[in-house]
Chain A
């Protein structure tokens, strides 16, 4: 059975968990095994009802009062016990902040191999092969896992959601998790939201990034105005913009920042240093605006404008507004 941990944030199912579930269903179909969704919490009926609309197939709910809030130790124990007892041969997580925190904990508990942040899962010779970018995308590593179970985290925004609905989801197989007193020695006391309602660059469908060409922190406003008219977009930045203190490091794209693969990556005033290109070259469409026609960013861009960004970006905003209104 390929099981998928379904992450809940703010009472909602993470889209990247549904992407992982869709991929699990596709590979399970090829391998001729079952796919299942796994919910963890103190009461999973609410999320289970939401999940039903996504035709999840079999749904397991691991419940315990100590699992009301996320903790790597509590969730890890519940999932490891479940994997051992329920014949899980493959376990997927979305490679989110929670998935990356939790999956290695479960892998260590089970003595299992873990493939992190995969961008491709393939069936070959009756087994799974996992492909993942290393060196922030400068190389692609393909691995097989020799352990049982095999565990992988899947990069958000990479695996398509569309998959034949298999129905089910009405029924949840509940299992009481065993969380001994004193097991959980660290817990999330509070979640602090960013002031703006901006989504994270790793989850955005459109990323608009600025670099040194913006000349100062105040000019990120140009990019924010553009982001404001594009649904599911976020503002990113190059390392030099972050290191200059123009914008927070959580916006940094590149090898010492985040790796993103949105539908559209718009690089504004970014020359395209190798460590930046590493973090965004898996984007589906790359657009560059730069005044230097020799900038390396143009070598990877699908479309580019050579020009003054202060003249181009406001006009581009007006033009995109028209296009989006259609």
Chain B
């Protein structure tokens, strides 16, 4: 089976986000960048499918050279190949632009792919757009926010999280699947894997190789503002006898906050 996994470099979840107001962008200085956590579940799912059924696992990212360490991590986990689609554009929070690039990469470079795996969202932009958009652009079925995945020959079954339950989605291959926490436990890189990953060449695909029109790459989303939300103020803290404080809190919630 020929599997493509799409990953993104993002600030880790412990990051404090600071804003450069003139450019309406995130200040990257001092941030620790990692592969988006959901992408790791996607890579692990791909590796397990390959171990069970054979084939190749190819990891792809769209971004700048700074994304290469994320690709090397995926190689160290066991991916066969990692590809950088070089895009120098700043973050535009526009899923459609990225989806058009990815869809064209699949059509032009990897037309034989059986399965396109993603994280359910990139931590940070939190769009949850690209997997479904790629599926639409390539006329493929999709299963998003997946916690269980079985693929057999030409078809697959996935359990996807919905409010208060799961949907069992059946689909034909090729297909788009996005991973949710719970799908698996991603493996750690081995020392041997890390050493091997360092030596691997990372092929680069340039945007202009893809033949996308300027109109297709023009963002449909324009940033009008970027702010840190107002800080919440510390409120009333009760201390002392548990029975007293519980009674006082219940009264506050009922009569002051009026939330119960």
Contacts and interface: CB of A to CB of B under 8 A. Distances in A.
B161 A250 contact: yes
A240 interface: no
A319 interface: yes
Given A187-B170, A284-B259, A143 B222 contact: yes
A38 B196 CA distance: 54
Interface stretch (A47-55, A82-90, A92-100): A92-100
Contact of A108 (B19, B99, B141, B157): B99
Interface in B133-170: 133-137, 140-145, 157, 159-170
A256 B13 contact: yes
Contacts of B142: 72-73, 101, 105, 186
Contacts of B13: 136, 254-256, 274-275, 278
B212 interface: no
A116 B129 contact: yes
A144 B229 contact: no
A311 interface: yes
A256 to B, nearest CB: 5
Given A135-B17, A194-B165, A142 B224 contact: yes
B16 interface: yes
A257 B163 contact: no
Interface string A314-326: 0110111011101
B164 A198 contact: yes
Nearest to B103: A108
Interface residues of B, number: 89
Interface string B223-251: 11111110010111111101101110111
A136 B126 CA distance: 7
A9 B165 CA distance: 12
Contacts of A133: 126, 229
Interface string B180-197: 111000000000000000
A104 B136 contact: yes
B129 A285 contact: no
B96 interface: yes
Contacts of A116: 95, 126-129
A323 B260 contact: yes
A138 B243 CA distance: 36
A17 to B, nearest CB: 12
Given A104-B95, A293-B237, A307-B242, A142 B225 contact: yes
Contacts of A135: 11, 15, 17, 26, 123-124, 126
A140 B239 contact: no
A114 B136 CA distance: 14
A112 interface: yes
Nearest to A307: B242
A80 to B, nearest CB: 9
B220 interface: yes
A299 interface: yes
A109 interface: yes
B238 A305 contact: yes
Interface string A283-300: 011110000010000111
Contact of A192 (B128, B140, B165, B175): B165
Contacts of B96: 107-108, 111-114
Given A185-B141, A304-B236, A191 B167 contact: yes
Contact of B243 (A96, A136, A302, A315): A315
A189 B170 contact: yes
A301 interface: yes
Contact of B249 (A184, A248, A305): A305
Interface in B32-73: 37-38
B181 A256 contact: yes
A301 B126 contact: no
Contacts of B131: 104
A133 to B, nearest CB: 7
A304 B237 contact: yes
B206 interface: no
B162 A191 contact: yes
B95 A114 contact: yes
A206 B253 CA distance: 12
A190 B235 contact: no
Contacts of A134: 93, 124-126
Interface of A: 9, 71-73, 76, 96-98, 100-105, 107-109, 111-117, 129, 131-147, 184-194, 198-200, 202-203, 206, 230, 248-250, 252, 254-257, 259, 263-264, 273-275, 278, 281-282, 284-287, 293, 298-308, 311-312, 315-316, 318-320, 322-324, 326
Given A105-B136, A281-B229, 8 more contacts: A101-B142, A101-B145, A133-B126, A136-B13, A193-B164, A255-B123, A306-B239, A320-B250
19 contacts: A103-B132, A112-B96, A113-B220, A116-B126, A129-B224, A131-B225, A133-B229, A134-B125, A138-B228, A142-B224, A144-B222, A248-B182, A255-B13, A274-B15, A303-B238, A304-B235, A306-B238, A308-B242, A319-B246
